[in-house]
A and B are shown apart, each in its own frame.
Chain A
Amino acid sequence: MIDQPMLQVEGLTKSYAATGREPLTVLKAVDFSLAAGDSLAIVGPSGSGKTTLLGLCAGLDRPSDGTVSIAGISIGGLTEDGRAAVRNAHVGFVFQNFQLIPTLTALENVMVPLELRGEGGPAREADAQALLDRVGLGERSGHYPIQLSGGEQQRVALARAFINQPKILFCDEPTGNLDGDTAHRIVDLIFGLNREKGTTLVLVTHDSELAARCGRTIRLKNGSVVKEAAPAA
């Protein structure tokens, strides 16, 4: 039996039409694949196409060309709702701005992916509570995002990302809005959970230290991969 890549990207290109001018290509023919449990850091200067690549990999946007497969499912031919279903089933997210829903408590925020599947209820609530305990916020489960610090919000976001036991976790600058100490704790949690759950990890970062903790790194410049490297031993 051949091992199936968890994330396969082939010839991924994204262009934007510009009135009266040549289309603007922000991502040019990117190829890579990741096996289950792998971790990848996407690095590069601002405007190099990192977030675009992450968005395309997660099915948040449609490529102009090329294909993306998540857990063996080619998401190119799927409708918006089809891609949403794939995300719900297989993908977790961590955003730079945390993106917790302000009107929900910490516990409710964590529960959202499950409830989208119709899997609410006391048993799953216990799972969510356990995850909050795991990120150190068991006592704060009834608090609203506005009542939490930035680091605490990001930990809730992490718990939410892992609640559906995703096969792949996408992180967009997960420490970009946090101070040094808090950032370290968040990074430790991401990699710790990643190992525990056997999740594939894709993260976009400016932080070279964080990138160095990933199994692989892709460096982008002007939308093209300029360097792909395994970490230094």
Chain B
Amino acid sequence: MSARPDVSSARPGSLRFILKMAWRDSRASRRRLFLFSLSIVLGVAALVAIGSVGENLRTAIDREARGLLGADLEVSSRSKLTPEAETFLQGLGGRQALELSFPSMVVFPSAGGQTRLVTLRGMEGAYPFYGSFLTNPPEAAARIAAGEAVVVVEETLLSQFGLKPGDPVKLGTGTFTLAGGLQKIPGDSTGLTAMSPRVIMPLAQLESAGLTGAGSLVRHRSFFQFPEGFPVDRQVRELKSQFRELKLNTDTVAERKRGLGRAVESVDAFLSLVGFIALFLGAIGVASAMHVYVRQKLVTVAVLRCLGASSWQGFAVYLVQGLGIGIAGAALGTALGVALQQGLPWVAKRWLPFDVDFAISWAQVAQGFTAGVVICVLFTLLPLLAVRRVTPLSALRSSLGEGAGRPDPLRWLIWLLIGAAVTGFAIQQTPRWEVGLGFVAALILAFAVLTALARLTAWAARKFFPARAPYVWRQGVANLHRPQNRTVLLLLSLGLGTFLIVTMALTRATLLAQISGTGSGDRPNLLFFDIQQDQIEQLEKTLEEEKTPLLVKAPIVTMKLSRYKDRPVAEVAKDNSLNLPGWSLRREYRCTFRSTLTSTEKVTAGTFTPTVEPDTSPVPISMEQGLAREMQLGLGDALEFDVQGVTLKAVITSLREVEWRRMEPNFFILFPEGVLEGAPNFYVAATRTDNSSDSARIQQAVVSALPNVSAIDLGLVLETLDEIFSRVQLVVQLMALFTVFTGIIVLAGAVMGGRYQRLRETVLLRTLGASRKQLIWIQMVEYAILGLLGAVVGCALAVVANIALARWVFETAPVLEPVTLLLATLVVTAITLCTGWLANRSITDHPPLEILREET
């Protein structure tokens, strides 16, 4: 005789019971649970802030797409348009405007005659048709449009040289009045113009300065405004097909929008992924803390099971607590993210060619919040699974704990869900799915390396630590390998954060060293270009007078490729089977001729021919190996060039490796002496100055003597690059700091978790007579080792990453700054020690019984 029980009798109040029990059970642990939740705050904050800024940028791009270009269509060319092309463009109708731009030297007489290389833009017409041309004072823009003999100068130069409206500005042979500072004009990002500031003047005034068409770097631009519904794309296709030989570049509103959108998405994706690492790390921290927490709750669960709670109810009580941690952390993170977003504009604004309204993006807030809760709950589920298997019998026999032995299929399911969530997030954040998968793979690799190192450390601590070492040392080191140690978790979080920050610092040092050419004090640092054939002697003379002899002088002959391996270039260009880059066939090659190699190049294949007889054919030439690879050319291959109307046959007899990053005159194709001497050419030259005042003086002397010659001061370029890099580095470091701070919170959580775990042991040691100093020492030994290892491993990974980046991405020698490495190691270790000490201090400061009463 048997009857079925009314199993449902426990159900009506199930949810209420679960919520009530979860709340009541959390009473003694709320501070601890809150600390757990902090682990994900920074990750969520990063996601929300970055996502919102990205969203704001996309909205602004959509809204201001036309204003970005300033026109519906821009057609640009490096050479003057043919009459047929001009007729075609005029036939397009609408409103039109013209612009000529080229690099030029500007002299500021009111600033003691100081000079600066600028991009000079001569404008004619009502450009910009959309967006604003903003100047300070505002009427300066109108004076340009009216064609007055005035210039508008990049506002940063005004403050740099102490200029004010009304001051004279010398350009070429003319002197103009400074109308005001340039604040904004469509079409350019101020980030891009930092290297070469803009000076704007009416196009008609360019001629009066004798600058029109000088040199070889003139850019012709035509702007168009069309009525609504005008078929811009069709006309662009028509223009390109009719005038293929002019190599026209076009830009439309749609293209600009796509390009900017892609750029925003790429930066957004990179930063989001770094933010996601912080969230991921935080979630691991939550899981680890919950693991310890749940173990302490097993008896409570067993009692509840004895009193009639189902396994689901027991599980749900702690799942609700986990969910609460996720929601609290995600909510705090979201709030912090929104606050951060308000602070980010100052970083982004300077680099944007348009205004962005930094409004809260609720979609991004929701996405960041959801990502935080989902990741947190998924990771919390792992330790919570144990609760389902708590047998009520363990209320009678405490040694039983959770049901062990059988593998839990749900555990695999949760790992699968975590994998899917992480991969899904990465793919969603990155522009291409391969990149997302690559990120996940890299993440797994970094975690695997750090985990393996952590395990190795724990193993080594157990195996090799001397048994006769002082007790506090032995106890501290033993904490690294004892059950439920924190070695893996802490090495992961500290190592990953250190890795990101130090990699950025080392990469910065490597790039700056590469550009400045550290270690060689005699390299040229002042470059002159656009020197006409009849000006080179005058330049040499001027420099001699200034006691800075010319160090480099390279004649440049422009030419185009006419035959590629005995086939006409036009035919080769149509041959899709070759898959050659179009630019390599179309470009205007600027070649030089000399009999020696410079310090920035070396022959990697074949033999360099220094000189030839004037009538040699084919001429033995040397090609840069990268270009040869792209053009599928090798030793012995034949080329034919059109040197301004004269055909010249050549054969490749050597390949060179060129160190392009050294800012010295370098060339793709090098001719021997003997054949090009008679061709029309111009020169680039370089010298070295010891300081910026010498540099300014020499530039001033050269510009006075040769107005069309431009100069680049590498010291100034370095300064600008350093500033750009500092800003990029600041953003990336901010993100990496999120990871490090997450690491610290995780550390504090782990220390708190461990504190409960080791409470009885500490109290026992205290009862047995351990002094406060001894207890602190034991903890400090453990944290010092963990902090030191995390920092060292992070630095080691950063060094490897820097070497890899230097070798394969920047193609230069890596710079390993020992001071940065040492500083990172010391700071990370110190932070770990402080966090450990702060989290543990109450245990060592109070009587044992008091602690037991409070903590249980």
A residues with CB within 8 A of B: 4, 51, 54-55, 58, 60-61, 69, 72-74, 77-78, 80-82, 84-89, 91, 93, 95, 97, 99-104, 108, 112-113, 115-120, 146, 160, 164, 172
Contact = CB atoms under 8 A, between A and B. Distances in A.
Given A55-B396, A72-B1, A99-B299, A84 B13 contact: no
Interface string B296-309: 00011011111111
B790 to A, nearest CB: 34
Contact of B28 (A84, A102, A108): A102
Contact of A118 (B11, B26, B299, B302): B11
Contact of A146 (B14, B299, B853): B853
B312 A112 contact: no
Contacts of A4: 1
B391 interface: yes
B16 interface: yes
B3 A85 contact: no
6 contacts: A81-B311, A100-B303, A115-B20, A116-B13, A117-B308, A118-B12
A113 B13 CA distance: 11
Interface string B374-417: 00000000000000000111011110000000000000000000
A44 to B, nearest CB: 15
A104 B392 CA distance: 19
B26 A103 contact: yes
Interface string B274-310: 0000000000000000000000000110111111111
Interface in B352-391: 391
Contacts of B299: 99
Main secondary structure of the interface of B (DSSP, over half): helix
Contact of A80 (B8, B27, B311): B311
B241 interface: no
B310 A95 contact: no
A55 B12 CA distance: 27
B24 A60 contact: no
Interface in B6-41: 6-14, 16-17, 20-21, 24-29
B393 A60 contact: yes
Nearest to A104: B24
B826 to A, nearest CB: 42
A200 to B, nearest CB: 17
B229 to A, nearest CB: 68
Contacts of B29: 103
A117 B10 contact: yes
Contacts of B391: 60-61
A80 B310 contact: yes
Contacts of A87: 306-308, 392
Contacts of A120: 13, 16-17, 20
Given A84-B310, A108-B24, A89 B5 contact: yes
Contacts of B14: 118
B5 A78 contact: yes
B307 A93 contact: yes
B856 interface: yes
B309 A116 contact: yes
B547 interface: no
Contacts of A95: 303, 395-396
B9 A99 contact: no
Nearest to B299: A99
Interface residues of B, number: 47
Contacts of B1: 4, 69, 72
Interface in B310-341: 310-313
A172 B396 contact: yes
Contacts of A99: 299, 302-303, 306, 395
A119 B131 CA distance: 69
A55 B8 CA distance: 23
A13 B143 CA distance: 104
A111 to B, nearest CB: 9
Please indicate which of the listed interface residues A74, A101, A116, A172 has the most CB atoms of chain B within 10 Å of its own CB. Answer: A116
Nearest to A172: B396
Contacts of B311: 80-81, 84
B650 to A, nearest CB: 82
B625 to A, nearest CB: 67
A112 B300 contact: no
Contact of A112 (B27, B307, B396): B307
A116 B2 contact: no
Given A55-B396, A78-B5, A103-B25, A160 B310 contact: no
B4 interface: yes
Given A73-B2, A80-B310, A146-B853, A116 B10 contact: yes
The 5 closest A-B pairs by CB, nearest first: A118-B13, A88-B308, A74-B2, A118-B12, A81-B310
Contacts of A117: 9-10, 12-13, 308
Please indicate which of the listed interface residues B3, B29, B396 has the most CB atoms of chain A within 10 Å of its own CB. Answer: B396
Please indicate which of the listed interface residues B9, B10, B307 has the most CB atoms of chain A within 10 Å of its own CB. Answer: B307
Given A51-B396, A89-B5, A113 B24 contact: no
A89 B313 contact: no
Given A60-B392, A99-B299, A89 B20 contact: no
B307 A116 contact: yes
Interface string B113-126: 00000000000000
Given A84-B310, A97-B398, A117-B13, 12 more contacts: A55-B396, A60-B306, A61-B393, A72-B2, A73-B5, A85-B9, A87-B308, A88-B10, A95-B395, A103-B28, A112-B21, A117-B12
B16 A51 contact: no
A179 B300 CA distance: 25
Nearest to A80: B311
Given A60-B391, A119-B13, A146-B853, A101 B303 contact: yes
A160 B303 CA distance: 12
Contacts of A81: 7, 310-312
A160 B26 CA distance: 21
B17 A116 contact: yes
A85 B10 contact: yes
B741 to A, nearest CB: 31
A227 to B, nearest CB: 23
A51 B310 contact: no
Contacts of B304: 101, 112, 116
A101 B5 contact: no
B9 A88 contact: yes
Nearest to B305: A84
Contact of B17 (A93, A97, A118): A118
B16 A118 contact: yes
A20 to B, nearest CB: 16
Nearest to B395: A99
Contact of A89 (B9, B393, B853): B9
A134 B437 CA distance: 66
Contact of B396 (A54, A88, A100): A54
Contacts of A112: 21, 304, 307
Contacts of B305: 60, 84
A115 B856 contact: no
Contacts of B6: 85, 89
B397 A115 contact: no
A58 B7 contact: no
Nearest to A99: B303
Nearest to B13: A118
Given A88-B9, A118-B14, A113 B308 contact: yes
A108 B28 CA distance: 15
B542 to A, nearest CB: 87
A101 B16 contact: no
B103 to A, nearest CB: 74
B28 to A, nearest CB: 5
A122 to B, nearest CB: 15
Contacts of B21: 112, 115
A82 B5 contact: yes
B850 to A, nearest CB: 12
B200 to A, nearest CB: 72
B20 A93 contact: no
Nearest to A72: B3
